[in-house]
Amino acid sequence: MEHRKNDRHGLHEDALAMFFGTLFVALGTVIYAKATLLVGGMAGMALLLQYATGMQFWAAFSLINLPFYYLAVKRMGWRFTVRTFLAVSLVSLLSRLSARWVEFSLLDPTYAAVVGGGLCGTGLLILFRHRTGLGGINILAIFLQETLGIRAGYFQLAVDLGILGAALFVLEPDHLVLSILGATIVNLIIAINHKPDRYLGVT
């Protein structure tokens, strides 16, 4: 089915989506870091590095995404790759700034898992709908959905559970369980809402 011209997103819509999508993800990761929780995907790997080595999230997130830009160029094209690079850079920047802008005197871990997961899932959904990913797993997820029809959310959920399994040596058992809850929330938001046959907005 061809997309109608008026279904396309405008440049201003893409810019707003990029900003708010990355802002939501950045705030979600700041909440997770404060509660010592782990989200899935590349953000989860970056948080894992932060907990294990002390490296700042923003630096780890930028570095571990570098190898995946090649796949993005080969499989998704330059336009998608540039958007992904911008999104990764914005999440790195906004997470660094948000950690300075927001402080919590009290943050219940269960609440953090639900709200942080909701923010990350909503941010990723916004980015996905504007053909933008956050590197690594997101690139694979979008590629598999568009070529093989595998739901991006379900694929990410399977990979994320594997990443969370690696956290057994870093997180306390109760925080690991809450991290799994958060990852499930993230991916259910994407799986339920990101259905290409129902959503025709493209750029």
pLDDT digits (tens, 9 = 90+) for 64-105: 888 778 777 877 778 878 888 899 999 999 999 998 898 888
Domain that holds residue 72: 10-193
| Residue 33 domain flag | yes
| Residue 201 domain flag | no
| Residue 17 domain flag | yes
| Residue 203 domain flag | no
| CB-based contacts of 162, cutoff 8 Å, min separation 6 | none
Residue 6: predicted pLDDT: 52
What pLDDT, in 10s, does the model give residues 103-112? 888 999 999 9
* Sign of the alpha-carbon dihedral angle for 86, 91, 96, 97: positive
What pLDDT, in 10s, does the model give residues 27-58? 999 999 999 998 877 888 888 889 888 898 98
| Residue 2 domain flag | no
Query: Which residue in 35, 29, 34 sits closest to 62, CA to CA?
Result: 29
Residue 195: predicted pLDDT: 63
Residue 93 has which token pair?
């920047």
Residues 27, 30, 32, 38, Cα dihedral to 10°: 100
**Alpha helices, H only, 67-151:** 68-76, 78-101, 109-128, 136-148
**Domains in the chain: how many in total?**
1
When computed from its CA atoms, the radius of gyration of the chain, rounded to whole angstroms, is 16
Averaged pLDDT for residues 162-184: 85
Q: Is 12 exposed, middle or buried (0-12, 13-18, 19+ CB in 10 A)?
A: exposed
| Residue 96 domain flag | yes
| Residue 109 domain flag | yes
Q: Is 105 exposed, middle or buried (0-12, 13-18, 19+ CB in 10 A)?
A: exposed
| Residue 200 domain flag | no
